[in-house]
Structure 1
Amino acid sequence: MTEAGDNGLRISVVMATYNGAAHIREQLDSLAAQTCLPAELVVTDDGSTDGTLDIVADFARTAPFPVHIHRNAQRLGYKGNFMHAVSLSSGDLISFCDQDDFWKPDNLARVRQAFVNDPDVMMVFHNAHLVNEQRAPISPFYATPPIPAVSRPLTLQPWCFSYGFMQTFRAELKPASALWARMGDHYNPGKEMGHDLFFFLVASGVGTIVYLDDELTEYRLHGGNTVGSGKRTRPTFVDRWRYRLEDRADTYRYLARMTVQDSNMFADLAQMAEWPEPLRARARVAAEAWRKLEPLYTRRADVCSGALPRRIAAFVQLVRDGGYSERSFWTFGSRAMQKDFVLGVLLAPLVRRFGRESSRTDRACHRGQGSDTPMTPTAVVPQAVAA
């Protein structure tokens, strides 16, 4: 085994725990079996009432790396708990770790190498394999790669993200945590932004993100997952067409508000004294890119609602502004233009009538790579978002 401190990159594994006694020992043992050992394991517990902390303390006595155990004074929730664990870490790289998964022995070695090869890489995430409670295999998490292997700043779709249990990021991003508490979630109005979405958002704006299409983690489905379900279903023909026809005006208006939020976040990061100038400069560019998204989503909401003259005017303005071009991460694309012309301009009353039959909860509940609609977390194979 090699130390994670080789070549100057020390890895902190951060684990947020809560009543995880059933499976946590297997996960801890998989960390101890890594071919590239972490420099430390930081465990923040959110008030477990089972034997979770006893198991962690027993593991710490013989672990081949330091284990730091912290008991939260009050419940933080799983997002806040992970953010707290990040704040307590000291490594050069920070790797999120769920309490009920199982890491393949070369997980950290493979991830770490991607950072060593390119200092511009701010985040690495990888594929996983879904398993049941007894770790019997079910299927790959990603049937096909969700993004290119290497994505430079501001080249990914704006609503793209990866799950925390797959993520490792550079500690240079830690100062951004000071802004997390004010960030609303892209997919769940009224909720705080996920810890994983937050760091993915920051990393995608100021650095390179690398995706490894290797199943380096077993994602355990046991019925008590915070995110994910073992039930895999295919949408019916009617479901697919209802999704295509439903009225998304409210969704687009919400996304417009999120673009303002994200632009303001990057603008504040550009003023952050703890960041080196190269990162601040990229944050300024990201703030401007997200600012340009707001009128596009506002106009697209107008295409889906209101009187015919208003829909036509919004559509024409989107075309003039290049909102349907294929050139950049903030535009919708030609398929979206065709859809908006037919369903927004010509058939909007019919679409609104049909869309009322759909659950409002389902409007933005499709995970995929489309730029027009966000992707809500699901542990099943992602579905492509219709343009």
Structure 2
Amino acid sequence: MQSKFAIAKKAQNYMSNPSAPENEAAQIDGPARGAAAILLCTYNGAGFLEEQLASIAGQSYANWVLYASDDGSTDATLPLLMAFQDRLGAHRVIIRCGPGKGFSANFLSLVREVSASYDFYAFCDQDDVWHPDKLQKSVAWLGQQMTVPALHCGRTRLIDEKGAPLGFSPLFNKEPSFDNALMQNIAGGNTMAINRYAYQLLKKTPLNAPLVCHDWWAYLMVAGCGGVVCYSPTPTLDYRQHTHNVIGANTTLVSRLMRLRGMLKGKLTTWNDENLASLQMVNTELTPEARLSLERFAALRHSTLIKRLWLLLISGFYRQTFLGNCGLLLAVLIKRI
């Protein structure tokens, strides 16, 4: 067992020389059949990271490799990752330096750098707790989608900083689709797992694409490029709510009122500007049906009130809940879409 000083020294050496041999994956022959790459992004997450790493180590589906991208942590995050690597080996835990441009850029940098030779890929946040069968359930469904891009996601159980249950994220019952993806993200990236075909799609994301969030982008790309999406109503992870969440669960009245306020101030308009600009960059990857929906949505946003309402009616755009659709109608009425 290495001392804390030795681990900290090793972490310091890693940050100054991330390409050293001890920091590279020892996978000369490539990943085993059915292997999953877990893509973990970290930044000053030492307070909860150890519990998350323990939940990863305890997965019933053991055929995985963890890629951790640290975005310049100044706390004990990197030493914790190095200790986990020492415990499981450099062939199971690979650590790299992130771009230092925020969580979405960090995730997408992993997508660009980790090879497309794995069968499955799972996004992972630093402060959650995976249930033991989290990866197994995702892989079981993804393994049946062998010819098209596929994304598995779902509901979460909410917990507080100490791990006490707070409830659940909203339950969505409507079918996932590109028409829904244009209106909202269906699930948090911390629940998402994709197959190789979907991963290859994400690798085509332009470097200059103005993405809102990597998880919303994954939903848009898979749904818009002829893929399939499965939303599971059964939670497979505990989604920790704390003061440093980059994006929370948005289940409280206060958080919903804040989202409404943001919409009135034009935040939804900005998000849609960015999503549409990014989708135009990959227009040739979209199905004809998705391109038609994209054109209708772009036209809706800049039309007169009557035409906006007409296009909303004939387009089939929808959100997952009644309140969500009320918010969508309001956004169309006041031209904040």
Q: Settle same-fold status: TM greater than 0.5.
A: yes
Rg bigger for which structure? Answer: 1
Identify if the C-alpha distance between structure 1 residues 265 and 286 changes in structure 2 by more than 3 Å, giving closer, same or farther.
Answer: farther
* 1:126 corresponds to 2:180: no
Of 97, 121, 127, which aligns to 1:71? Answer: 97
SS of 1:219's equivalent in the other structure is: strand
User: Counterpart of 2:8?
Assistant: none
Q: For 1:111 and 1:249, locate their aligned partners in 2 and report how far apart those are by CA, in whole Å.
A: 38
* 1:323 corresponds to 2:304: no
Q: For 1:183 and 1:373, locate their aligned partners in 2 and report how far apart those are by CA, in whole Å.
A: 28
User: Counterpart of 1:225?
Assistant: 245
Of 286, 294, 298, which aligns to 1:294? Answer: 298
Q: For 1:247 and 1:15, locate their aligned partners in 2 and report how far apart those are by CA, in whole Å.
A: 31
* 1:209 corresponds to 2:229: yes
Residues 90-149 of structure 1 deviation map (CA, whole Å, 9 limit, x = unaligned): 32221110111100000011111111223335111011111011111010112x22543x
Of 115, 119, 144, which aligns to 1:117? Answer: 144
User: Counterpart of 2:165?
Assistant: 137
User: Counterpart of 1:40?
Assistant: 65
User: Counterpart of 2:53?
Assistant: 28
Identify if the C-alpha distance between structure 1 residues 298 and 231 changes in structure 2 by more than 3 Å, giving closer, same or farther.
Answer: closer
Of 137, 159, 169, which aligns to 2:183? Answer: 159
Which ranges in structure 2 are unaligned for 5 or more consecutive residues?
1-30, 332-336
User: Counterpart of 1:362?
Assistant: none
SS of 2:311's equivalent in the other structure is: coil
* 1:107 corresponds to 2:134: yes
Which ranges in structure 1 are unaligned for 5 or more consecutive residues?
185-191, 271-279, 304-314, 336-365, 375-386
Query: Percent of aligned positions with the same letter in both sequences?
Result: 21
In the TM superposition, 1:133-282 aligns within 5 A as 133-142=161-170, 144-145=171-172, 147-148=174-175, 151=176, 154-156=178-180, 158-161=182-185, 162-173=187-198, 174-184=200-210, 192-206=211-225, 207-228=227-248, 232-233=252-253, 257=273, 260-267=276-283, 270=284, 280=285, 282=286
TM-score (norm 1): 0.65
Count of residues paired in the alignment: 292
Alpha carbons 2:156, 2:235 under 8 Å: kept: yes
Q: For 1:168 and 1:369, locate their aligned partners in 2 and report how far apart those are by CA, in whole Å.
A: 30
Residues 17-52 of structure 1 deviation map (CA, whole Å, 9 limit, x = unaligned): 111111111101100110002421000111111111
Identify if the C-alpha distance between structure 1 residues 157 and 194 changes in structure 2 by more than 3 Å, giving closer, same or farther.
Answer: closer
Q: For 2:326 and 2:39, locate their aligned partners in 1 and report how far apart those are by CA, in whole Å.
A: 28
Task: Indicate the RMSD between aligned Cα atoms, in angstroms.
Answer: 3.6
**Matched letter for residue 102 of structure 1:** V
Identify if the C-alpha distance between structure 1 residues 369 and 200 changes in structure 2 by more than 3 Å, giving closer, same or farther.
Answer: farther
Q: For 2:275 and 2:297, locate their aligned partners in 1 and report how far apart those are by CA, in whole Å.
A: 6
CA deviation after TM superposition for structure 1 residue 165, in Å: 0.5
**Matched letter for residue 135 of structure 2:** L
Q: For 1:255 and 1:16, locate their aligned partners in 2 and report how far apart those are by CA, in whole Å.
A: 23
* 1:57 corresponds to 2:82: yes
Q: For 2:324 and 2:206, locate their aligned partners in 1 and report how far apart those are by CA, in whole Å.
A: 23
Identify if the C-alpha distance between structure 1 residues 371 and 210 changes in structure 2 by more than 3 Å, giving closer, same or farther.
Answer: farther
Identify if the C-alpha distance between structure 1 residues 104 and 228 changes in structure 2 by more than 3 Å, giving closer, same or farther.
Answer: same
Alpha carbons 1:163, 1:196 under 8 Å: kept: yes
Identify if the C-alpha distance between structure 1 residues 296 and 100 changes in structure 2 by more than 3 Å, giving closer, same or farther.
Answer: same
Structure 1 runs, 4 residues or longer, greater than 4 Å off: 246-260, 366-374
Identify if the C-alpha distance between structure 1 residues 84 and 217 changes in structure 2 by more than 3 Å, giving closer, same or farther.
Answer: same
Identify if the C-alpha distance between structure 1 residues 86 and 324 changes in structure 2 by more than 3 Å, giving closer, same or farther.
Answer: closer
Alpha carbons 2:40, 2:123 under 8 Å: kept: yes
Identify if the C-alpha distance between structure 1 residues 133 and 372 changes in structure 2 by more than 3 Å, giving closer, same or farther.
Answer: same
Alpha carbons 1:256, 1:297 under 8 Å: kept: no
Q: For 2:251 and 2:300, locate their aligned partners in 1 and report how far apart those are by CA, in whole Å.
A: 36
CA deviation after TM superposition for structure 1 residue 156, in Å: 2.7
CA deviation after TM superposition for structure 1 residue 63, in Å: 2.5
Q: For 2:325 and 2:192, locate their aligned partners in 1 and report how far apart those are by CA, in whole Å.
A: 18
